[in-house]
Chains A and B, each alone.
Chain A
Amino acid sequence: MTTPPHIAAARGGSIWNLAIWRMAWGDQRVLLLSLAALWGAFPWLYLWLSAQIEMPAFQDVLLKVIPADWQKLSGVPFSEVATHAGRVALAFVDPVVVLAATVWGITRGSDAVAGPLERGTLEMTLAAPVRRSAVFLTQALATTAAAALLCGVLLLSVWTVVAFGPWAGRVEPARFVPAAANVFGLMVCMAGLSACVSAADSHRWRTIGIMCGFYVAAILTKLVGRLSGMLGWVGYVSILNAYEPQRLVGGDDASWRLLLLYDGVLIGVGLAAYAIGAVIFARRDLPAPL
């Protein structure tokens, strides 16, 4: 049988694939909508609750009751926290934001290879003339684009509550753009690292377990670094040292320069992990699904 012309035209492939792009958006749709709803509502709820405690009372507790040593944990002086901008910024380090960003990164990243490999759906996808790098990078692009969308939702919600909420007019909403960008950096970093582990793994649960362990270790090393004078250097090995949105709400050039450093580290690590993952995936054997 002679090769039909459409097959000859299929040679070369691409590192982006429309069918896989649409598939990736379908796969992440439920999580995306859930987190968008959460992050759309959370800043309003958070600021409404915060506004229930008047600023003088908050300042009294923070500056007079809590020991000054505890400032090490906040990453910024309590005097900065005890401002309207500082209190809004705390929303970005609230577990609702940090854990959701991490959950997004690990969930989507772990689904890069180990997920479809374990489910057996990678088998028929790769029977088509599609590069493994296209499968990997298209999913990565969809994950990153959706992370940007989520951070856009978070920023929009913070912006509107700051502009029209209980503290309307007291803080400039644009001050929180770097903080939202830092959340994006965290999401890219966690997704990239998870995708890298996923590229070498055949079981998604194991990838998720490894990444959860990595995240807990990152929190612990950051805490040890903050609290221990002698072991202060330990904090520098934690990737979470580059996630400090509460330090990025100054509304000045210093905030943007610090963001460049933080997101340079987070996004740089994420992209490097994606690149390594793509190489691992291209070279590895793909076992038949069990």
Chain B
Amino acid sequence: MPSAGSPPMIVRTSALTKRYGSFVALDACSLTVNEGDVFGLLGPNGAGKTTLVRTLLGYLHATSGSATVAGYDCRSQSLDVRARTTYLPGEARLFRRMNGHAVLDFFARLRRECHRDVATQIAGRLDLDCSRQVARMSTGMRQKLALAVTLATDVPLVILDEPTANLDPTARSTVLDLVREAKQAGKTIMFSSHVLSEVEAICDHVAILRAGRVVHEQSIDDLRRGHRIHARLTRAFPGVPEAFAGHLSAASTSDGAVVMETDEPLAPLLGWLATLPLDEVRVEPVGLQAVYDRFHRPG
């Protein structure tokens, strides 16, 4: 059981490692997810996102390290972990011989936390025809059905592995609304997606994985404070003044272009910028794409 007075974190992994022979799927992964956050997991295919989630849920047994959900050990107390978790797999596959109603009935019978009436409501919001047999549903329809099951389950931690994949824009927007509603209800959401704009719009915190390692963690609030300044100078770049050296990075190219990044308020910088021999200047938010590209851009 979680100890009294512990920080409000619901997921904690410590040096979590999963190896398959010589292949390391998850490499000393340490991260924490705070209660009530929407936590984004980012990374290309094979980065370890799904392995991390599957280890949390007890599908996979870690080679070393530890993981807890709500204070329960993910290996030895998996039943307790899953009693507090609902999970949408990356590729949700359901019982093909059943229709949508029967699938919702099955999961409502399987666990008391899954509320049949809420599932019906969510299916309705996603414009899903539950009378159709799963075998005759499109991939997107099956995804909606799985979402209805997952989001109708009243537990503290919701894990969504690419929940908007295969969905049309309207359904995507509805799913993001549902995630926001879950957050407002006090739930924690772990959200894995390749659509960075969605993650940026909905998450409070993100972790970027590469080759099984957590290579970057950042709060979205911090991200929004960050700006990138593209400038072209008529003379050589004089370098970053001492006063900004700690929080302003700059890279200049031979054709007089300079790209600077900062995560501090812009106002003091603007005065200094005005003293530079500017030919042109453009200021833009850094954005998640730029952060992601630092770790995953080819070359």
Contacts and interface: CB of A to CB of B under 8 A. Distances in A.
A125 interface: yes
Interface in A249-290: 283, 285-286, 288-289
Interface string B77-90: 00110111111011
How many A residues are at the interface, by size bracket?
A: 35 or more
Given A3-B84, A7-B113, A131-B79, A285 B91 contact: no
A7 B54 contact: no
A6 B59 CA distance: 24
A288 B60 CA distance: 10
A129 B109 CA distance: 12
Contacts of A286: 54, 59-60
B213 to A, nearest CB: 20
Interface of B: 35-36, 50, 54, 57-61, 70, 79-80, 82-87, 89-98, 106-107, 109-114, 146, 149, 154-156, 185-188
Contacts of B94: 121, 124
Interface of A: 1, 3-4, 6-7, 9-13, 17-20, 22-23, 26-27, 119-121, 123-131, 283, 285-286, 288-289
Contacts of B97: 26-27
Contacts, number: 104
29 contacts: A1-B35, A1-B185, A1-B186, A1-B187, A1-B188, A3-B70, A6-B112, A6-B113, A6-B154, A7-B113, A9-B112, A10-B112, A17-B110, A22-B106, A26-B97, A119-B96, A120-B92, A124-B87, A124-B89, A124-B149, A127-B87, A128-B114, A130-B111, A283-B61, A285-B60, A285-B61, A286-B59, A288-B50, A288-B91
Contacts of A283: 61
Contacts of B155: 7
A13 B113 contact: no
A7 B106 contact: no
Contacts of A285: 59-61
A228 B155 CA distance: 65
Given A7-B113, A18-B109, A129-B111, A121 B95 contact: yes
Given A7-B155, A129-B79, 20 more contacts: A1-B185, A1-B186, A6-B154, A9-B112, A12-B79, A27-B97, A120-B92, A121-B93, A123-B59, A124-B92, A124-B94, A124-B149, A126-B59, A128-B110, A129-B111, A285-B61, A286-B60, A288-B50, A288-B89, A288-B91
Contacts of B36: 1
Contacts of A130: 82, 110-111
A20 to B, nearest CB: 7
Nearest to A289: B93
Given A19-B109, A128-B107, A289 B91 contact: yes
B59 A128 contact: no
Contacts of A22: 106, 109
B79 A20 contact: no
Contacts of B86: 127
Contacts of A125: 110
| Residue picked from B54, B185, B186, most chain A C-beta under 10 Å | B54
Contacts of B106: 19, 22-23
Contacts of A7: 83-84, 113, 155
B87 to A, nearest CB: 4
